[in-house]
Structure 1
Amino acid sequence: MSSLPIADLILAEMDQSARAGNVPRHRRLYEAIRSAILSRRLPVGSKLPSTRDLARDLGLSRNTVVTAFEQLLAEGYVSSRTGSGTFVADTLPEPATEELAPERQSRNSHHNGAIAPQHAPQEGTTAAVGATLSVRGRRVADHAAGHRYEIQPFVPGDDDFSVFPIKLWQRLQNKYWREARPELLDYGQNGGYLPLRRAIADYLRVSRSVRVTVDQVLITGGTQHSLDLCAQLLADAGDTAWVEDPCYWGAQRVFESRDLDLHPVRVDDEGMNPTAEDQHKPPRLIYLTPSHQYPKSVVMSLARRRLLLDIAARTGAWILEDDYDSEFRYTGRPLSSLQGLDTHDRVVYMGTFSKILYPGIKVGYMVVPPALVAPFRSALYDLQRPGQMMQQAALADFLEQGHFATHVRRIRQLYGQRRELLQRTLKPILGNAATLSKEESGLHLVIQLPPGTDDERLAQEAAEQGLQVRALSTYYLGAEKERGLVVGYAYVPTDKIAYYGRLLGNVVKAASAGRR
């Protein structure tokens, strides 16, 4: 059967995205097919043309089509059957077993004896925009004017900033210090340095499929600052925040400091898995690390992503997508963002340069929904007094001149080598005593231990050997905890990986022998 009808449909989708400009052809093709699948113009079970036929019909190289198909397959939009072809997968989330509670009673309702209206998105005027914010957020917008880790082998979450191109960075900064432009010595009053926001928007649009305009990008002091701003503007004291269980400790601390009611939702092999019981406690905020869950390392499935987007849309919740290390995927291309699937503007996307360049740079970014741009911009200025405009200007040049992409390629290769070497070192030592997580991205892996293991004691024993690992159980909020060790491999010289890996492996092996 001719593939032309499907090819014509895909070509029409590609024509609509032609304004994307510098987006590579394989990315435009991927996005066109993805859009047709999500809109059901390509129904579940539809067989796609072969890569050879589609390349011929669209006038593209076969490699371009193969690359797009591989990305669709990796993200679950299509399935491949050997000898049969490629088919559109069923990406719809399973329906919830019970409907979420239609409304929530405000913790502050006792002040007037009335039930406060449910937070829900509304369309319309400026007053409607205010209704999307928390009470604290509206008040701020209306008045516009852990634990510290030592730098030791296997510390989780840190990058190897010793390989950062310092001399190049100095040259870029010196250019602006010689000019000493007055506007670069002031606070940042418009959400950050415009050329940097533009460079970030271009980067996210191409590499992460983020739906973004320059106005939506705000420069912050890092992910912690971004989370704190969201907690202040989008939730009130006592509101419920769904967090992954296990959860990044930094997010826990921020939400607790803002008096939010943390509700842990278990993470399985597909990411956060809200049950009917969880859904009896509707969230105001949902904190997620979908591209590489921290600390378990799993990647959230497409069906689970759509389920959580559906929950957010139905309850008026905000999803906070922490995309902290998406650049470090060692097989295939980086996965697309959750925000790129959001059609209801319920996702606040955030990232940081601290995991790529060096921790002390303290520059992060947020992409906020259009209705939140003005209040978030004014609150960013009023609450955090952002600055470092000279540094932002140098960083803009670092991105625009291609140095960022070069640096990412270099350290991705370096960290991938270290990850592989650490795995090869640990596996023969551990034997059946423990298993290694099978992640293909990030800056850490998890040594998964048998139930009942005292992983905190193991972490202490590793510290006595000069190794800084973290017990997996300490990341959990709920009573049911998995046991393991979170091991960072980025901040270890390649020639020392095997040595330190043997030390750590022997600590775990000795503990296992003591249990028998």
Structure 2
Amino acid sequence: MLADYLLTELARPDGPAGPDAGLPLNRRLYEALRRAIWDGRLGPGDRLPSSRELAQDLRLSRNTVVAALQQLGAEGYVVSRVGSGTYVHEQLPLHRGASQQRPRDDGHRLPGLSARGQRLTAEPGAAELEIQPFTPGTADFGAFPVALWQRLQNRHWRAARPEMLDYTTLGGYGPLRRAVADYLRVSRSVRLQPEQVLITTGTQQSLELCARLLADPGDTVWIEDPAYWGAVKAFAACDLRLHPTAVDGEGWVPPAADAPAPRLIYVTPSHQYPSGAVMTLARRHALLQAARATGAWVLEDDYDSEFRFDGAPLASLAGLDEDGRVCYMGTFSKVLYPGIKLGYLVVPLGLVEAFRRAHYDLHRPGQLPLQAALAEFMELGHFAAALRRARQTYAARRAALLQALQPLLACTGVRLSGAAQGLHLCLHLPATVDDRALAATLAREGLSVRPLSAYCLQRRDWRGLLIGYGYAQPKLIEPSARRIAEAVQQALRATPAPGGQR
């Protein structure tokens, strides 16, 4: 029974929902229910017991149960139907049960898929379906003001005019586009008008729009190496040719003079994914100059720009752009929660009308009541407050992780990057270390770090681990980091040095 499973999880001291996890009781119940969904004990469409029944079976207060269910609903795991109950969302990704694992690309074609479909579904080795404490790119949504958010949504649903229930041809809800424009002017020095903002479902949709409207099949995209796999898949879906460009400690490295001329240049300058490098001002100017010289469009994915801990943020590329060649994109998923599925794309003025038409024709955008709630959330200062709280929380976790990993830095060939910004660190290792095997070893112990080599397109000189701290609970950071350090040291001892010497 579900109640028996939940009682076991809540009592297990070493589990994410156990009493030693250092979490409030409602958060522990949320973790236990979320794990039940991912493990397949609760399948898509399954009805959950009522909050009253769960409270009685688990001997918890009803407020505790309601808070856990509200958090699951806010993140998209469950949906509530008035007069019917609460159900597991029917469109969640595949569960992690043994019989439901995603097939790996073992060199055989999957029946029925096109050649492009084969490329898109070949697993790169970087993606994970289950969120674990050290998963890179993952934030902690436990502090999100669910009750306030629900009140805002309910108010806009009650007041929704008929036109708010229709598609939008204007690129999104007007007040939200204005709020995003105001936020970007102040926080990222982007020069823009509200009409340049399109509200999308997130960075992936923004990338798809840019790839479809600004390039033709066979055109070249300069893309960072190592690369964000979401961008790789988006460009592959549009049959674009990838030209990997190296990344170093200063971010994007200008390619050789004989590199093929690009139609698009895709970069993550604020916190390069996955290395964490922050592109220097000199490199930013060099990139804009290259775009001007080649007539290319720059796609600026301002990944993790909200979370900078050392020094003032550098100006965005869009803020430095004098030629109107930068398309700037961001998302609300880190500060709010991923299930909100809202992001923004800022396009040059000359492209606004074309992008609006294409966005409508391809995607039929809507969700105007949700957008209205988010606009008010920003206008009333709640977004800024949530961002301040998140920065404080993540800064403390980052400091704890850096402190715990310090002994590793005395090892030859080991260094850290990406510590100044974002929600993960990149631990660089000697090129002789098998980082995929090392990550697999740690994964078996519940530590979901990722191998740096899995993100590399051409280069073979980078090995390492991506270690996220956004979802890691403070009391787990030190012991978990100590285990990571032990595994790394074991891998270093087992790896032959150059020339065959250990």
Corresponding residue to 1:505 among 485, 499, 502: 485
Amino acid at match of 1:480: R
Q: Determine whether 1:432 maps to 2:429.
A: no
The CA distance in 1 between the partners of 2:451 and 2:265, in whole Å, is 24
The CA distance in 1 between the partners of 2:162 and 2:137, in whole Å, is 36
| Conservation of the 8 A alpha-carbon contact between 1:328 and 1:334 | no
Q: Secondary structure at the match of 1:280?
A: coil
For residue 509 of structure 1, report the CA deviation from its aligned partner. Answer: 1.7
Corresponding residue to 2:314 among 332, 335, 360: 335
Q: Secondary structure at the match of 1:163?
A: coil
Q: Determine whether 1:399 maps to 2:378.
A: yes
| Conservation of the 8 A alpha-carbon contact between 1:220 and 1:226 | yes
The CA distance in 2 between the partners of 1:417 and 1:495, in whole Å, is 12
| Conservation of the 8 A alpha-carbon contact between 1:455 and 1:484 | yes
The CA distance in 2 between the partners of 1:187 and 1:216, in whole Å, is 19
Percent identity at matched positions?
Answer: 58
The CA distance in 1 between the partners of 2:470 and 2:142, in whole Å, is 11
For residue 429 of structure 1, report the CA deviation from its aligned partner. Answer: 5.3
Which residue pairs with 1:280 in the alignment? 259
Corresponding residue to 1:241 among 209, 214, 221: 221
The CA distance in 1 between the partners of 2:180 and 2:314, in whole Å, is 17
The CA distance in 2 between the partners of 1:454 and 1:374, in whole Å, is 49
Amino acid at match of 1:347: V
The CA distance in 1 between the partners of 2:255 and 2:299, in whole Å, is 20
Which residue pairs with 2:331 in the alignment? 352
Which residue pairs with 1:216 in the alignment? 196
Which residue pairs with 1:408 in the alignment? 387
Amino acid at match of 1:222: G
The CA distance in 2 between the partners of 1:206 and 1:175, in whole Å, is 28
Q: Determine whether 1:186 maps to 2:142.
A: no
For residue 297 of structure 1, report the CA deviation from its aligned partner. Answer: 1.0
For residue 276 of structure 1, report the CA deviation from its aligned partner. Answer: 2.6
| Conservation of the 8 A alpha-carbon contact between 1:153 and 1:500 | no
Amino acid at match of 1:325: D
Corresponding residue to 2:340 among 354, 358, 361: 361
| Conservation of the 8 A alpha-carbon contact between 2:270 and 2:316 | yes
The CA distance in 2 between the partners of 1:275 and 1:389, in whole Å, is 43
Q: Determine whether 1:420 maps to 2:399.
A: yes
Which residue pairs with 2:440 in the alignment? 460
Aligned residues: 370
1:70-469 alignment, distance < 5 Å? 147-277=127-257, 279-428=258-407, 431-432=410-411, 434-437=414-417, 439-469=419-449
TM-superposition CA deviations, 1:42-69 (whole Å, max 9, x none): xxxxxxxxxxxxxxxxxxxxxxxxxxxx
For residue 438 of structure 1, report the CA deviation from its aligned partner. Answer: 5.3
Cα 1:429–1:262 change in 2 (3 A) is closer
The CA distance in 1 between the partners of 2:453 and 2:322, in whole Å, is 36
- Normalised TM-score (structure 1): 0.70
- Normalised TM-score (structure 2): 0.72
| Conservation of the 8 A alpha-carbon contact between 1:173 and 1:391 | yes
Q: Secondary structure at the match of 1:387?
A: coil
Which residue pairs with 1:82 in the alignment? none
| Conservation of the 8 A alpha-carbon contact between 1:429 and 1:502 | no
The CA distance in 1 between the partners of 2:313 and 2:255, in whole Å, is 29
Structure 2 unaligned runs (5+)?
1-125, 496-501
For residue 183 of structure 1, report the CA deviation from its aligned partner. Answer: 2.1
Amino acid at match of 1:271: G
| Conservation of the 8 A alpha-carbon contact between 1:430 and 1:505 | no
Q: Secondary structure at the match of 2:142?
A: helix
For residue 479 of structure 1, report the CA deviation from its aligned partner. Answer: 3.6
| Conservation of the 8 A alpha-carbon contact between 1:324 and 1:355 | no
The CA distance in 1 between the partners of 2:354 and 2:403, in whole Å, is 50
Question: RMSD in angstroms over aligned alpha carbons?
Answer: 1.4
The CA distance in 2 between the partners of 1:190 and 1:374, in whole Å, is 9
The CA distance in 2 between the partners of 1:451 and 1:184, in whole Å, is 55
For residue 470 of structure 1, report the CA deviation from its aligned partner. Answer: 1.0
Corresponding residue to 2:454 among 474, 484, 507: 474
Q: Secondary structure at the match of 1:149?
A: coil
| Conservation of the 8 A alpha-carbon contact between 1:326 and 1:335 | no
The CA distance in 2 between the partners of 1:331 and 1:413, in whole Å, is 13
